[in-house]
């Protein structure tokens, strides 16, 4: 993805039970039982009924959470599935936090609030409407929140909090609450060794605070995946180790490494060793760690690698009471370097004002601003800019969905860090200020000219937004026409934000959304508008319907056309000329570039964004003011040489890529080629004449195999083919390679041929009792049968019985076979032709065989397109088995199914928290466009 930067600057990282009169909770003997206390039976309660998962079920649905697991890791996901979290205050920020925490799969989530819904809440409470004003905020949202994830136990509590109640949770998150209440709860949590986070938002301002105790262990400080470094030379006396081909090691002083894949087993068992970098980027020093091995290893090595490992880091946090006096800040905007200290004082003054006056300062009230200024006494000495003070006072009743989305996503991510010990948490205050979104004197909505009357509440759902921008601005928002391209994770968050903003909610306004995709199970973890019953439905249609539920006044039109050159008759001049702007919510660069070109042509603003795990980016493209998206590009990704994949793999990525290629060769390309021939023989042969001799032979051989030599007539034939394929890939080809390049082969320079990145392989003999061997044959036979429209054998026992009966012929290596060592050598071999002087004779034979076919009697094949998210189709099963058997050939560490799926499917890690933050930032930028 393009221009990805961390959103989290500190290095990243349903059971519905009712009981009692005023609370809904899971109880045993009157006590809440979170997962950490191993509550075995949440359905046995006082006066309650239950539905949903067993509370002791900490299992992880890898289909549902796959993208999150790729971002956080399986260990972190397991911690989430055991955690219990209390969220107090289900206003705008609390609601966002709850949404993200529940989507993230935290095992037990208790929602608490005693406040009643007001009109001011409605601008950022997406599960509420005007008819609910006066009801408890947590009760209003509880059912909808509980529906977000049926693997999470959600509990409602509306009584006052006390120490006995809160101490049972692993983490308490407090929002929309004064310092006194926060300090009290924080002290309770510290007393019992538990974790605490708080947050709030007013207008364009927000903050978060984190206290994880006196000594919090972070097991993975940055959440990054490190590649191993191949080594070629070791100097045990000096402690210097040299990377292969002078590759950059990417290590820093103090990093720890372990040694792997050395021929000396004891070296591979060393504990993590600290390194010291040198002036040269391919050399690091490990001190005396290798001194005891000088007699057995010193100098050039045939194989070995170093891998950076994560070492735990311990962080000390202050209590909230102490942190208020001696705060530590994470800076949100480096253009406002002193901003955190200013905002620290302003938030203290606000809570003092509200305690004294039992209300917040009124929008644009100069009188209240003076009263507010008086509350700054005793909060610090930093001089606060007058305009910042006024903006803060004027926006104290403001409630903006985009700001809640940003801080709510951020805090939910901090919650994940807290309960998983994964990635470095916030230490300790974050203050945000997005006042650049206020219109200036260049705009007809100049915020500097707003009066109290312009922003006074009118008891509508937009009171909280009008308090910041005024009612004229709100009216203009309602008349906007925008086009949202994509209804995936970012799209869902954008729809929620835009609905609450009232974008296109008036006469003449219209939001158009398009997405050709249908909803899959893996979407549900972060695309919160969708539920399990929606799986298989069009994303755009379900998203539009959900948007109307958030705000019935929004005018939205759902489309399902892809935006490309092929659909310019749909997305034509009339379409674009009606728009005020475009929002991209796409998942690939080419589509982004195309939409960008259209926006440049029609001179429309474009709001661009993307995410990858805990990282994200936003970009504003504004006509005649900024560069376009296509003006810059990321450097191209490095590609693995074909010869490395074909004969000399040394990483599991290589074997997975090879297995993915074999899937395409055997189950997709061959069927497409055969169907092209069957549909139009003359046309096919005409295109064949344009190819080189080598290409003709390769293509005709594949056709002969598919339609004649290896064409199955039964499912048993498919098992036989799969069993033969095993021998061909994992025994015969390896034995031929070793025949050409024996294990003791040396180069013309006298060096070992099998060294460095070339790992000497060994052949595999089929063993039906080996689960991996049988899995390969089973899945390959299953797919082969589908390819030829034959009912597959679904019983693994029967497949094993058939495979056991197959006798493999002895392999005899062929002489004169050329095996290229480099891609350049392979290209030269292809140019020369694989069969030398016999090429034309071979071509004639292959053509004659095909000419004898009675095409009318042959059924078309069914090409199998790779689909990574269907566990019943055996696609990932085949690729995992094929890759790991290849890894076994070359003594490469194998990968589990999850990792194989991610690499083969090119899956981008994703988190609902990051999506929430990015979508919020996009909509804050949307404010600025007016």
In sequence order, which residues have a C-beta less than 8 Å from that of residue 845 and are 6 or more positions away? none
On whether the CB atoms of residues 671 and 861 are closer than 8 A, the answer is yes
On whether the CB atoms of residues 429 and 344 are closer than 8 A, the answer is yes
Distance CA(590)–CA(278), nearest Å, equals: 41
Distance CA(893)–CA(123), nearest Å, equals: 53
Phi-psi region of 238 (alpha: psi -120 to 50; beta: other; left: phi over 0): alpha
- CA-based angle 710:712:717, to the nearest 5? 100
Cα dihedral value 18, 24, 30, 33, nearest 10? 100
On whether the CB atoms of residues 53 and 26 are closer than 8 A, the answer is no
Counts for the chain of helices (H) and strands (E), in that order: 33, 29
Q: What is the DSSP letter of 839?
A: H
Helix (H, G, I), strand (E, B), or coil: what is residue 843?
helix
Phi/psi at 191 (5° precision): -60, -35
- How many CB atoms neighbour CB 172 within 10 A? 27
* HSE (side-chain half, CA atoms, 13 Å) at 901: 20
Model confidence at 690: pLDDT above 50: yes
Nearest to 556 by CA among 620, 613, 505, 610: 505
Q: Which residues lie across from 77 on neighbouring strands?
A: none
pLDDT score of 21: 32
Going by pLDDT thresholds of 50, 70 and 90, the confidence category of residue 484 is very high
pLDDT score of 12: 36
Q: Write out the H or E segment, with its range, that includes residue 256.
A: strand 256-260
* 470-636+914-928 CATH: 3.40.50.720
Mean pLDDT along residues 765-780: 97
pLDDT score of 54: 52
Q: In CATH, which of 2.40.30.180, 3.40.50.1700, 3.20.20.70, 1.10.3720.10 is domain 229-309? A: 2.40.30.180
With 0-12 CB in 10 A as exposed, 13-18 as middle and 19+ as buried, what is 200?
Answer: buried
On whether the CB atoms of residues 402 and 96 are closer than 8 A, the answer is no
Nearest to 912 by CA among 3, 106, 86: 106
Helix (H, G, I), strand (E, B), or coil: what is residue 24?
strand
- Evaluate the omega torsion of the peptide bond into residue 428 and state whether it is cis, within 30 degrees of 0: yes
Mean pLDDT along residues 375-397: 90
Q: Write out the H or E segment, with its range, that includes residue 491.
A: helix 489-501
Q: Write out the H or E segment, with its range, that includes residue 157.
A: strand 153-157
pLDDT score of 56: 53
Nearest to 135 by CA among 151, 152, 119: 119
Q: Which of 152-156, 368-372, 442-446, 462-466 shows the lowest per-residue confidence on average (mean pLDDT)?
A: 442-446
- How many CB atoms neighbour CB 255 within 10 A? 20
On whether the CB atoms of residues 189 and 172 are closer than 8 A, the answer is yes
Average predicted confidence (pLDDT) for the chain: 90
On whether the CB atoms of residues 130 and 122 are closer than 8 A, the answer is yes
Q: If DSSP states are collapsed to H, E and C, what string results for 660-726?
A: HHHHHHHHHHHHHHHHHHHHCHHHHHHHHCCCCHHHHHHHHHHHHHHHHHCCCCCHHHHHHHHHHHH
Nearest to 595 by CA among 489, 482, 674: 482
Residues annotated as catalytic are 643
Distance CA(651)–CA(763), nearest Å, equals: 18
pTM given for the model: 0.88
Model confidence at 2: pLDDT above 50: no
- Percentage, residues of the chain above pLDDT 90: 72
Residue count of the chain: 930
Token couple for 289? 């760690």
Distance CA(780)–CA(773), nearest Å, equals: 11
Token couple for 428? 């300790």
Distance of CA 360 to the CA centre of its chain: 39
On whether the CB atoms of residues 423 and 11 are closer than 8 A, the answer is yes
Going by pLDDT thresholds of 50, 70 and 90, the confidence category of residue 851 is confident
With 0-12 CB in 10 A as exposed, 13-18 as middle and 19+ as buried, what is 763?
Answer: middle
Distance CA(188)–CA(149), nearest Å, equals: 30
Strands 108-112 and 84-88 come out as parallel
Which tens digits make up the pLDDT trace of 299-330?
A: 788 788 899 999 999 999 999 999 999 999 99
Please report, for residues 63, 492, 538, 871, the alpha-carbon distance to residue 534 in angstroms, rounded to integers and kept in the order given.
16, 14, 8, 19
Distance CA(198)–CA(411), nearest Å, equals: 8
On whether the CB atoms of residues 923 and 930 are closer than 8 A, the answer is no
On whether the CB atoms of residues 59 and 105 are closer than 8 A, the answer is no
- Sequence spans of domains, the chain: 11-219+317-340+399-429, 229-309, 470-636+914-928, 647-904
Cα dihedral value 791, 794, 799, 802, nearest 10? -40
Token couple for 632? 């810059």
The fold of the 11-219+317-340+399-429 domain, in CATH, is Rossmann fold (3.40.50)
Going by pLDDT thresholds of 50, 70 and 90, the confidence category of residue 13 is very low
Token couple for 402? 């985009």
Judge if 11-219+317-340+399-429 and 470-636+914-928 fold alike in CATH terms: yes
Work out the angle between the directed axes of helices 137-147 and 92-103 (0-180°, nearest 10): 20
- 62-98 core/surface letters (b: 16 or more CB in 10 A; e: else): eebbbbbbbbbbeebbbbbbbbbbbbbbbbbbbbbbb
Model confidence at 920: pLDDT above 90: yes
Nearest to 581 by CA among 504, 493, 491: 504
pLDDT score of 3: 38
- Which regions of 824-913 does DSSP assign to beta strands (E)? none
Q: If DSSP states are collapsed to H, E and C, what string results for 318-331?
A: CCHHHHHHCCCEEC
CATH superfamily to which 647-904 belongs: Ubiquitin-activating enzyme E1, SCCH domain (1.10.10.2660)
pLDDT score of 831: 67
Strands 240-243 and 205-211 come out as unpaired
Which tens digits make up the pLDDT trace of 330-367?
A: 999 998 988 999 999 999 999 999 999 999 999 999 99
Q: For the chain, how big is the Rg over CA atoms in Å?
A: 32
Going by pLDDT thresholds of 50, 70 and 90, the confidence category of residue 834 is low
On whether the CB atoms of residues 504 and 550 are closer than 8 A, the answer is no
Going by pLDDT thresholds of 50, 70 and 90, the confidence category of residue 750 is confident
Distance of CA 131 to the CA centre of its chain: 37
């Amino acid at each position: 993805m393009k221009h990805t930067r961390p959103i989290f600057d500190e290095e990243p990282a349903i059971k519905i039970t009712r009981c009692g009169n005023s609370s809904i909770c899971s109880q045993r003997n009157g006590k809440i039982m979170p997962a950490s206390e191993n509550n075995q039976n949440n359905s046995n309660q006082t006066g309650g009924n239950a539905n949903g998962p067993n509370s002791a079920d900490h299992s992880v649905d890898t289909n549902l959470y796959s993208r999150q697991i790729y971002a956080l890791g399986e260990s972190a996901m397991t911690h989430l599935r055991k955690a219990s979290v209390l969220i107090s205050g289900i206003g705008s920020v609390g609601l966002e936090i709850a949404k993200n925490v529940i989507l993230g799969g935290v095992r037990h989530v208790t929602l608490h609030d005693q406040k009643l819904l007001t009109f001011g809440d409605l601008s950022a409470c997406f599960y509420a409407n005007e008819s609910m004003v006066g009801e408890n905020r947590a009760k209003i949202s509880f059912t909808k929140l509980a529906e977000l994830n049926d693997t999470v136990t959600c509990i409602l509590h509306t009584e006052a909090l006390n120490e006995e109640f809160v101490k049972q949770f692993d983490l308490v998150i407090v929002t929309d609450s004064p310092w006194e209440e926060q300090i009290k709860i924080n002290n309770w949590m510290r007393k019992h060794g538990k974790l605490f986070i708080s947050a709030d938002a007013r207008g364009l301002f927000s903050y978060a605070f984190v206290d994880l105790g006196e000594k919090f262990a972070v097991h993975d400080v940055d959440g990054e995946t490190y590649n191993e470094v191949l080594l070629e030379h070791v100097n045990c006396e000096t402690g210097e180790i040299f990377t292969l081909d002078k590759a950059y090691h990417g290590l820093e002083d103090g990093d720890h490494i372990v040694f792997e894949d050395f021929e000396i087993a004891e070296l591979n068992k060393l504990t993590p060793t600290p390194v010291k970098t040198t002036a040269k980027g391919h050399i690091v020093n490990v001190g005396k760690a290798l001194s005891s091995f000088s007699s057995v290893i010193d100098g050039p090595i045939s194989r070995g690698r170093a891998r950076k490992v994560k070492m735990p880091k311990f962080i000390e946090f202050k209590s909230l009471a102490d942190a208020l006096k001696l705060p530590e800040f994470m800076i949100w905007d480096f253009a406002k370097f002193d901003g955190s200290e200013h905002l620290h004082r302003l938030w203290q003054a606000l809570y003092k004002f509200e305690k004294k006056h039992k209300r917040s300062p009124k929008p644009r009230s100069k009188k209240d601003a003076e009263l507010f200024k008086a509350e700054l006494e005793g909060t610090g000495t930093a001089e606060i800019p007058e305009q910042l003070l006024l903006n803060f006072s004027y926006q104290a009743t403001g409630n903006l969905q985009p700001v809640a989305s940003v801080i709510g996503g951020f805090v939910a991510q901090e919650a994940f860090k807290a309960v998983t010990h994964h990635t470095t948490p916030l230490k300790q205050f974050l203050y945000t200020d997005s006042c650049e979104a206020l219109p200036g004197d260049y705009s007809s909505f100049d915020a500097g000219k707003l009066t109290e009357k312009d922003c006074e509440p009118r008891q509508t759902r937009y009171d909280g937004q009008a308090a910041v921008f005024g009612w004229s601005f709100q009216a203009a928002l309602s008349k906007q026409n925008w086009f949202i391209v994509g209804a995936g994770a970012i799209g869902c968050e954008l729809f929620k934000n835009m609905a609450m903003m009232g974008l296109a909610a008036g006469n003449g306004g219209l939001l158009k959304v398009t997405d050709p995709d249908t909803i899959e199970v893996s979407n549900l973890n972060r695309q919160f508008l969708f539920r399990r019953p929606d799986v298989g439905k069009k994303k755009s249609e379900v998203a539009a319907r959900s948007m109307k539920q958030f705000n019935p006044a929004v005018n939205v039109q759902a489309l399902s056309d892809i935006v490309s050159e092929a659909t310019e008759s749909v997305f034509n001049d009339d379409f674009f000329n009606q728009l005020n702007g475009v929002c991209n919510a796409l998942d690939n660069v080419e589509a982004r570039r195309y939409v960008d070109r259209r926006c440049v042509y029609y001179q429309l603003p474009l709001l661009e964004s993307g995410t990858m795990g805990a990282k994200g980016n936003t970009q504003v493209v504004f006509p005649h003011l900024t560069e376009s998206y296509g003006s810059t590009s990321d450097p191209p990704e490095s590609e693995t040489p074909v010869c490395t994949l074909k004969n000399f793999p040394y990483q599991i990525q290589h074997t997975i890529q090879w297995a993915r290629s074999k899937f395409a060769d055997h189950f997709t390309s061959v069927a497409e080629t055969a169907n092209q021939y069957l549909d139009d023989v003359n046309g096919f042969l005409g295109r064949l004449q344009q190819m080189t001799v080598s290409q003709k032979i390769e293509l005709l051989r594949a056709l002969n195999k598919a339609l004649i030599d290896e064409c199955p007539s039964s499912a048993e034939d498919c098992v036989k083919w799969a069993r033969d394929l095993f021998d061909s890939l994992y025994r015969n080809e390896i034995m031929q390679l070793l025949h050409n390049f024996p294990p003791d082969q040396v180069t013309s320079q006298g060096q070992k041929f099998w060294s460095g990145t070339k790992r000497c392989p060994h052949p595999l003999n089929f063993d039906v009792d080996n689960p991996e061997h049988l899995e390969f044959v089973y899945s390959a036979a299953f797919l082969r049968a589908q390819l030829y429209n034959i009912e597959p054998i679904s019983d693994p026992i029967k497949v094993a019985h058939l495979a056991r009966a197959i006798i493999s012929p002895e392999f005899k290596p062929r002489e004169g076979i050329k095996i290229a060592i480099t891609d350049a050598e392979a290209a030269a071999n292809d140019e020369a032709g694989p069969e030398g002087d016999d090429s034309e004779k071979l071509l004639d034979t292959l053509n004659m065989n095909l000419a004898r076919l009675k095409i009318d009697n042959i059924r078309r094949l069914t090409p199998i397109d790779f689909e990574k998210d269907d566990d019943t189709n055996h696609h990932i099963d085949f690729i995992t088995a094929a890759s790991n058997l290849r890894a076994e050939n070359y003594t490469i560490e194998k990968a589990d199914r999850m990792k194989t799926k991610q690499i083969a499917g090119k899956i981008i890690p994703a988190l609902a928290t990051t999506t929430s933050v990015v979508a919020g930032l996009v909509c804050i930028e949307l404010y600025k466009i007016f």
